[in-house]
């Protein structure tokens, strides 16, 4: 786990979100994805934040990012103190 204070990064480059009952600051990404020749494409919204900010947040709970409603479909800690929260539009 990193010892650095990542709140400075999130303050400057992050977005505010409500994940379950938690108010969290992190990086939101909703980039377009294309699965090449398979003809499958779309977006996979994710929210990356400090793992410690996710206490009590669970898969299946609601989330709001940039005034859009989502449902949490996955929480993936990376072992460095950061987690990726996978979202699905509600």
> What's the whole-number mean pLDDT along residues 44-58?
95
Q: Which residues of 32-71 are buried (b: 16+ CB within 10 A; e: fewer)?
A: eeeeeeeeeeeeebbbbbbbebbeebeeebebebeeeebe
Percent of the chain with pLDDT over 70: 90
> What's the whole-number mean pLDDT along residues 25-50?
84
pLDDT in the model for residue 36:
65
Residue 87's pLDDT band (cuts 50, 70, 90): very high
Residue 3 has pLDDT above 70, yes or no: no
């Amino acid at each position: 786990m990193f010892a650095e204070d990542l709140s400075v990064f999130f303050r400057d480059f992050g977005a505010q979100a409500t994940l379950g009952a938690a108010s969290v600051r992190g990086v939101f990404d909703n980039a377009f994805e294309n699965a090449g020749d398979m003809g499958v494409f779309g977006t996979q919204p994710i929210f990356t934040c400090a793992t410690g900010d996710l206490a009590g947040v669970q898969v299946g709970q609601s989330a709001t990012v940039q005034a859009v409603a989502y449902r949490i479909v996955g929480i993936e800690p990376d072992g460095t103190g950061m987690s990726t929260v996978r979202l699905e539009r509600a």
